Structure 1
């Protein structure tokens, strides 16, 4: 079969077939009287073998070795191909994400595109100081888009840079909540914590809804961040987690202050006091918990905690009884004024 017919049937161009011949990769078995290449069935099968291995990403040199070396084993080469392909896909995904970010910013000209690219490079820098500079001093006073900042917040591990990113995100144009919401559902607990921490600094019903969903997160830190943020917004859905925060710490003082503010609502005052009293009963032999709970009672409005504090003046833990006695004295003195 002559080269033109081989090219038609195999889909490999005559130019490529000549290149294979020059490399010794696929050499036609014979020549016609006129000197034209003539391919035997075995040659055509080899062409298809070459094309099949090319489809896996092998170089022509690697293909020649694979076909001609009887001792060649594919496992190492295939493993290397998997690694190289994964790296290439990662690069392509990064490019796709970068293009989507540029598109979402709706640039009006190439100068806008260049500013966004510069911000992306800054936010992607391995140097924390450079990342922070990109956030706080963007090129030509260009404000980074909210989705770009949200993605950076979810990926940022440096606490100082993260704080700057949250500050910028709270002031950015665009839907910051939409950019952070996927982070609340991430498998990585650190990403979920970053997302909730950032949402705590955003206002609006959408942020509140996502924070409320985070109250059921399996991670205690995520739940605590969400509860503190919701409590500050006056959301009573946070009460159970705020009580748990008082019990477990940290942030027990802040949680107690929020419970005190929420207890100003008569509809919730009794429930909050009942929850705190229940924790005293649940931890009869844990002095640290009982002290935190007693301190929380100091935040309750009016005389709401007075009866429970009087009971605690007889607590076996001296620190608890002394604190309760002091608080009872303050409350009784106020009532006499």
Structure 2
């Protein structure tokens, strides 16, 4: 079979077949009278073997050793090829993500592209100060792809830098909320915590409250707490059970009490909150410290129901609870007298 026929049947170009011949990798068995290369069936089989090994990422030098050196075993080489391929794929994936970020920024010129590239370099710096500067030094009016900032927020471990990034993301408005909502259901609890915390700082943006309301059902207490504190400030009554639970557990109980106080400004919600706190006060599992926190939360509430519960608690069997309740009830009565 002549070289042209071999090229058509194998898919290997005549130029590459000549290269294989020059390297001694696949040499034709014979020549025609006119000096043309003539390949036997065994030669063609070797060509397919070479191409098969090349498809695995082997160099021509490695292919030759694999076919000719009996001591050249595949186990170690294949392991190395897997490692090299994983590294290459990771680099390709990183490049793909960068290109998508640049595309999302809708650049109008190469200066826009370079600006985004510089921001990406700053956000990936090992220096916390440089990462922070990358988002704070952005010129007014220059937009940054929300996806880029979301990725940076979710990966940031330094709390000060993360705060700066959330601030920058808040400037992205609704786009930032949409990008964060996509990862707020992540299986990684740390990602969910950071996503919800960032959305909480963007609660005035459309769609933010709906995402936070969904987060109230999260299995992680920190995620639920971040969502509940913000929702309470916005008057969302669905946050009440989580906020009461935070007071019971002593998890940011001061913030939870203040949020309950905001919710109690709605007369329809005030009695519900007071009753929920009273139920926890009466729970047989509530220790003295828990009951004191619940008592302190009552003073934040509007309405007469909370005041009545405080007055009753002033006679509680637990002396510490009684003293706290008596003092708080006195403060409330003084405030009432001043108002009148």
Please give the range of the TM-score, normalised by the shorter of the 2 chains: over 0.9
Q: Distance in 1 between matches of 2:137 and 2:335?
A: 52
Name whichever of 123-132 and 210-219 sits farther off: 123-132
Q: Distance in 2 between matches of 1:141 and 1:333?
A: 52
Q: Distance in 2 between matches of 1:9 and 1:60?
A: 21
**Number of aligned positions between the proteins:** 337
Q: Distance in 1 between matches of 2:251 and 2:298?
A: 17
Name whichever of 254-263 and 276-285 sits farther off: 276-285
Task: String of CA shifts for 1:47-69, please: whole Å, max 9, x gaps.
Answer: 11111121122211222222223
In the alignment, structure 2 segments of 5+ residues that lack a partner are none
Q: How far 1:316 sits from its partner (Å)?
A: 4.2
The question of whether the paired residues in 2 share the 8 Å contact of 1:256 and 1:296 is answered with yes
Q: How far 1:87 sits from its partner (Å)?
A: 2.0
**TM-score of the superposed pair, with normalisation by structure 1:** 0.93
- Is 1:25 paired with 2:25? yes
**TM-score of the superposed pair, with normalisation by structure 2:** 0.92
The question of whether the paired residues in 2 share the 8 Å contact of 1:192 and 1:222 is answered with yes
Q: Which runs of 4+ in 1 moved over 6 A?
A: none
2:127 corresponds to:
127
Cα separation, partners in 2 of 1:299 and 1:116, compared to 1, 3 Å: same
DSSP-derived class of the 1:117 partner: helix
Q: Distance in 1 between matches of 2:179 and 2:294?
A: 37
The question of whether the paired residues in 1 share the 8 Å contact of 2:184 and 2:192 is answered with yes
Cα separation, partners in 2 of 1:41 and 1:307, compared to 1, 3 Å: same
2:233 corresponds to:
232
Name whichever of 55-64 and 44-53 sits farther off: 55-64
The RMSD of aligned alpha carbons is 2.0
Q: Distance in 1 between matches of 2:89 and 2:30?
A: 43
Q: Distance in 2 between matches of 1:283 and 1:30?
A: 97
1:262 corresponds to:
263
Task: String of CA shifts for 1:69-102, please: whole Å, max 9, x gaps.
Answer: 3243323322322222222222222222212222
1:83 corresponds to:
83
- Is 1:38 paired with 2:16? no
- Is 1:4 paired with 2:1? no
Q: Distance in 1 between matches of 2:169 and 2:149?
A: 6
Q: Distance in 2 between matches of 1:84 and 1:18?
A: 29
Q: How far 1:140 sits from its partner (Å)?
A: 8.4
Q: How far 1:226 sits from its partner (Å)?
A: 0.5
Superposed, 1:275-286 pairs within 5 Å as 275-286=276-287
Q: Distance in 2 between matches of 1:55 and 1:13?
A: 15
- Is 1:147 paired with 2:151? no
